[in-house]
Chains A and B, each alone.
Chain A
């Protein structure tokens, strides 16, 4: 018996010892600065970790930035799926992090957190000239008005956004161009021509449903609706499901009951009725890739960088895809609207309290917004990832050029460039160097036709209005979803039931919601 007690005691003690040792590990000591040299600036920065390019602290972009600007960064790597949850909890309880990346507090919870003092009002410090590189970009690219849109109700903005010199055309209608050739057709430029193409494909393979959705109808909607003159649904450009932005009058209108939306539905109901539009609206898992790779579908709104994946998975002889510029519809030829400013860098209240806050802001400005930084985070470092020819053109290292994943992905995974979580200057021309010529050519065409409109503004809703709007929106959203589905599948007729639908949406307050939005414009 005594022996047993001793064993238990010994075990407990052993575990306690091991634990105290572990607890000691977690704190981690500060490293004193080397003699003579100025101590590096120490701070904590978060990173939203996307597993297709798992974060590495020893990525060239990180080590090079630390060396260039004498920084000592503690990276807090958070899985991208849980990023917002973690960041919101941190901010709500007074985080110890200094800089939060990939965040753009413009509305909702994060705007509330910003206004409650969890984040530093960075606009004040930009005005004081602490972020000269950032300010220069805003001026050069003529973005002041767009930046002003990001101000919250106190007239300040709380993040340094990622800046895009032009809206990219990174996704759109992708279709089988080997079939175009087979049928002797040109790539469609209008929705009528798309219909002809889909019809020809259906005749060729009656088992197939030529047009299919990536992830869900919201992707198809958001990319094709603007050509009909509105954008509604889950990914509506206004974020309201039911309102759209009128680019001419510069005001919101109830897109979900507009005739343009009716026309859109008529078109898709026709595709559906004739078996041209896949009845499986929400393909799960590999389903989309399988359909596209096996020829069960031949066209879809998707992203350019997905073409490689489907071609690689396919066993269909001669299969080839291409992305076409936005198709022309009754409202013009437009892709889904995009913002030139997106999620960027937030300085926390803890950072603002630091004595060296100015130094920190200046360091971040240098690290992400200077010319050298814009090159580093996009292309890497000269002599490491690329060399320059005599005429100044960029030549990537052979490993990147020969990589089966393509230059873009190769550099991303191995050097950390081109990650949406940490690149904050996006220059279209520079980005296109990392893709094939075809992609660059399509982008040039789309830029020429002004095919990617700017995102509509977000209104500043007072607390009362925000609550009212979200109540109205919830009811409208449900009705919209049900009717949208019924109209496309033919369960409800666009000729006889449309008026009843419009009436229901009006009864549920679509006009009031629109009024609130228009009244709250800046």
Chain B
């Protein structure tokens, strides 16, 4: 052990203090939302909630959890997110790898077609007809397959794969590997940072997606975001007509509870993926 100098200790103290402030800044909104979602209606309405919950209760959560079909919907969302991300990553790798090879003929045209579809699409009704006519209506494929490839993520992936030194692949080829094995055994492991990043984007997309599910799926298959969105939007519209009278839950409490219920699971993913967000994995993979 080397004795730390005075300067380094002071530096560390400041570092920790600084980090503590940053953590408070990031955690405070979540805690405040938690307080709002668990405070009594009177306390919220009379502006008495500043930091800790006042008149603690869990009515706002009960309202969400008691919603008919809530847990089934939550399960659906988890299934869609897992499968959707899995498919999406496989499809994107298979598409991106060939496109990363500059000797591939017609590569430019294919990339342009991909970019074209970023800006132009068929529109709601033609898409709907397409999905119905290929028999995807009321099947989970309707929200998985058409959204498996995101053009933006694809381009990131292509560029990442291009940055992998060709020498590694050449070496593998000399050792007798074909393209599929090179992809599976060399390129994919080396692309972990990109896969983690894109995987996270994709997971967030499938987690949040309610619109496509609303259009293409039936009641049993609805994801949880459809229910949560309906609760929030209706709370905001309360009062535009008769019969919207609330059950003694302030709109802020409803909203906060919905936000927490919907973001916590996906936020929990971040720390687990963090270790992949490390650059420079390819450093040292080639000798000489």
Contact = CB atoms under 8 A, between A and B. Distances in A.
Contacts of B218: 26, 76
A17 interface: no
Interface stretch (B12-20, B110-118, B124-132, B148-156): B124-132
B59 interface: no
Contact of A305 (B67, B128, B243): B243
A51 B45 contact: no
B240 interface: yes
Interface stretch (A63-71, A288-296, A327-335, A471-479): A288-296
Nearest to B228: A51
B86 A15 contact: yes
Interface in B225-255: 226-227, 229-231, 233-248, 250-252, 255
Contacts of A308: 245
Interface in B206-228: 211, 214-215, 218-221, 226-227
Contacts of A86: 214-215
Contact of B231 (A51, A418, A419): A51
Interface residues of A, number: 63
B172 to A, nearest CB: 12
Interface in A20-59: 22-23, 26, 49-52, 54-57
Given A81-B230, A89-B124, A289-B45, A409 B247 contact: yes
B241 A8 contact: no
A303 interface: yes
Given A49-B230, A55-B68, A79-B226, A294 B45 contact: yes
Contact of A313 (B215, B230, B237, B250): B250
A174 B285 CA distance: 76
Sort A-B residue pairs by CB-CB distance and give the 8 closest, nearest first. Answer: A79-B230, A305-B245, A170-B242, A313-B45, A81-B233, A77-B219, A51-B231, A303-B242
21 contacts: A26-B139, A80-B234, A81-B229, A81-B230, A82-B211, A82-B214, A82-B226, A85-B214, A168-B242, A215-B239, A285-B251, A289-B45, A302-B239, A303-B244, A305-B242, A309-B246, A312-B42, A313-B45, A314-B45, A404-B248, A418-B243
Interface of A: 1, 4-5, 8, 15, 19, 22-23, 26, 49-52, 54-57, 75-82, 85-86, 89, 92-93, 168, 170-171, 214-215, 219, 284-286, 288-290, 293-294, 302-306, 308-309, 312-315, 404-405, 409, 412-413, 418-420
Given A22-B140, A305-B245, 11 more contacts: A5-B184, A52-B247, A57-B68, A78-B214, A80-B234, A82-B211, A89-B128, A286-B252, A288-B239, A289-B250, A313-B250
Interface of B: 41-42, 44-47, 67-68, 79, 83, 86, 124-125, 128-129, 132, 138-141, 184-185, 211, 214-215, 218-221, 226-227, 229-231, 233-248, 250-252, 255
